[in-house]
Structure 1
Amino acid sequence: MGKAAERLNIDFVVSTGDNFYDNGLEGVDDPAFEDSFTKIYTAEGLQKQWYSILGNHDYRGDVEAQLSPILSMIDARWLCRRSFHVNTEMADFFFVDTTPFVDKYFTDFEHSYDWHGVFPRSKYLADALETLESGLRESTRKWKIVVGHHAIRSAGYHGETQELIQHILPILKANNVDFYMNGHDHCLEHISSLDSPIQYLTSGGGSKAWRGDTNYEHYHHGMKFFYDGQGFMSVELTSTEAQIMFYNVYGDVLHKWKTIKEFHSTV
């Protein structure tokens, strides 16, 4: 990953959540932060800004610790928020905190979740949806990219997230989103939407891969690529072109996809 990052001269890194297994961080002084982040991603090409979102495993720990600016003082690359917007020259990235949308976590009594800042849940979800919709509607960037931890479309072990299909997908379709990127499923995959331009990109191959539980048949011709193993992906954008590449842990390219987009200005 470090070698690929250096070769591509990346601008930043996106982490799709579940940043610290199995139960997030215990606090801002938890050594897991440096052991699992600072001391792992040491390659020169990865010394860029990291934009991270929370996964369901992060919610099992101290959520405020991951959001704390104290961690950015320990490692300046770290930035983690619940939902936020990153405006780049070519694209608008909208990061969405998807865990509070998923009903089952609120009835999971085998694990403890840190819901501070989420209740009242209905207001939290309504605010997140309103922020996403207004941000996408007002975006003037050439590419619109939404990032969440949970999948909307996936042939992996966890599969589709019905709550996101119900609440978030209509917003993505209505606002011409180009890519939805997620983690959660421990695999790499690319699914093309058959009813919109949206490309669904799963990059969850950081650990616990090789599950061997897939559902290809559900997607028919929409499935462009699936890899039930560890790896990562890259996104390269120009004013008219986007190129997606998936890699194994050795940096070998497993899948490459390119699209050209025409933009028409109005006077």
Structure 2
Amino acid sequence: MVAVRIGLVLAMALLVAMFSGPCRSELERLEHPIAADGSLSFLVVGDWGRRGSYNQSAVALQMGLMGEKLNVDFIISTGDNFYDDGLTSLQDPAFNESFSRIYTADSLQKQWYSVLGNHDYRGDVLAQLSPVLRKIDRRWLCLRSFVLNTEIVDFFFVDTTPFVDKYFTDPEDHAYDWRGVLPRKAYISNLLKDVDMALKESRAKWKIVVGHHTMQSAGHHGNTNEIVAQLLPILEENGVDLYINGHEHCLQQISTSHSPIQFLTSGGGSKAWRGDISWTKPELKFYYDGQGFMSMEMTEARVDIAFYDIFGNVLHTWGASKPSFSVTGENSRTVY
């Protein structure tokens, strides 16, 4: 009965996401149960969809092994799900070749919660958001923005691509599918109001925001100024604990004195930047310029994260506890 109820909620949310425009009054809300012992575990991967190339298959293999070890509840994708230009249609073979045929481990046959990246917006966005894809692979769930409620943590998935000015103003940039986004100003305004309201209404012990673009980054792209200016103040005002993103093809953790939020990047699902690092400030707690992924284990009292490479090596760990959210331990092997 629980599975049926979750399936109905997901199907309704997908239909709303597909046909809703920028005048939505609130974010779609989904629920996911926690484990019987009160814990939650999941994997995070981003920037992956390359038909297995650039070590995507190697990352998927290690995700499967770690997913089995942790008995993960679900997987989060931080966007840029299909390279180079999203999906062309509902019949695009890239969906099977980059997703279904790659993440085949039993432990990865769980729900995937995904956001769109800028590369996804270069294709047929409505195809990637369509509930029809769930008939092809029941794991798939991609919405523009939504809230995922659990008993111990609320996740707020935010569509960050429409915030970035250059995608709209640079004549040499790629063509983007802005259906459902235009008029842009109204879309962003409504989204910011929705996120602010959803965060204020949340009573979860932990609040995690997931977006594609970086807020703090030492990598190739650097900080995304538009969401730093418009979205970050809302997150800080509402007590968000973690911001998780992709976009940078690396793994990193940044902790800055200017914000109480931990900034985590998991964008190593396939192609990496190979040595492209822009700064090594003290705020940069960990940076790995290679393929890999992240795991998170949570209880009401604690969160523990770990980053892995394509051989399953643990590159960096970090943990924090509530209510003080003080760092209780760190062990890293930083690679530049």
TM-score (norm 2): 0.76
The gaps in structure 2 that reach 5 residues or longer are 1-62, 325-336
Do the aligned partners of 1:85 and 1:94 also contact (CA within 8 Å) in 2? yes
Secondary structure of residue in 1 paired with 2:195 = helix
Distance 1:88 1:193 in 2: 28
Provide the residue aligned with 2:127 in structure 1: 65
Residue among 303, 310, 319 paired with 1:242: 303
Secondary structure of residue in 1 paired with 2:282 = helix
Distance 2:155 2:143 in 1: 13
Secondary structure of residue in 2 paired with 1:221 = coil
Provide the residue aligned with 2:249 in structure 1: 186
Distance 1:152 1:210 in 2: 18
Matched, 1:47 2:140: no
Do the aligned partners of 1:157 and 1:211 also contact (CA within 8 Å) in 2? no
Residue among 53, 57, 74 paired with 2:136: 74
Distance 2:299 2:320 in 1: 11
Matched, 1:132 2:195: yes
**Letter matched to residue 252 of structure 1:** N
**Letter matched to residue 212 of structure 1:** G
Provide the residue aligned with 1:203 in structure 2: 266
Between stretches 207-216 and 40-49, larger displacement belongs to: 207-216
Provide the residue aligned with 1:108 in structure 2: 170
Residue 195 of structure 1 deviates from its aligned partner by 2.6
Distance 2:152 2:278 in 1: 34
Distance 2:259 2:301 in 1: 19
Secondary structure of residue in 2 paired with 1:163 = helix
Distance 1:216 1:177 in 2: 25
Distance 1:20 1:123 in 2: 27
Distance 2:276 2:160 in 1: 23
Residue 196 of structure 1 deviates from its aligned partner by 2.9
Q: RMSD across aligned C-alpha pairs, in angstroms?
A: 1.0
Distance 2:186 2:166 in 1: 18
Matched, 1:154 2:217: yes
Residue 193 of structure 1 deviates from its aligned partner by 2.5
Matched, 1:257 2:305: no
Residue 211 of structure 1 deviates from its aligned partner by 2.9
Matched, 1:229 2:290: yes
Do the aligned partners of 2:306 and 2:316 also contact (CA within 8 Å) in 1? yes
Residue 208 of structure 1 deviates from its aligned partner by 1.7
Q: Deviations over 1:68-88 (max 9, x none)?
A: 000011000000000111001
**Letter matched to residue 87 of structure 1:** N
Residue 210 of structure 1 deviates from its aligned partner by 3.7
Secondary structure of residue in 1 paired with 2:155 = strand
- The size of the alignment, in residue pairs, is 261
Residue 194 of structure 1 deviates from its aligned partner by 1.1
Higher RCO structure, 1 or 2 (CA under 8 Å, sep 6+): 2
* Identical-pair percentage: 62
**Letter matched to residue 96 of structure 2:** E
The gaps in structure 1 that reach 5 residues or longer are none
Q: Deviations over 1:99-120 (max 9, x none)?
A: 0000000123341110011111
TM-score (norm 1): 0.96
Residue 180 of structure 1 deviates from its aligned partner by 0.2
**Letter matched to residue 101 of structure 2:** K
Distance 1:227 1:86 in 2: 29
Distance 2:311 2:134 in 1: 29
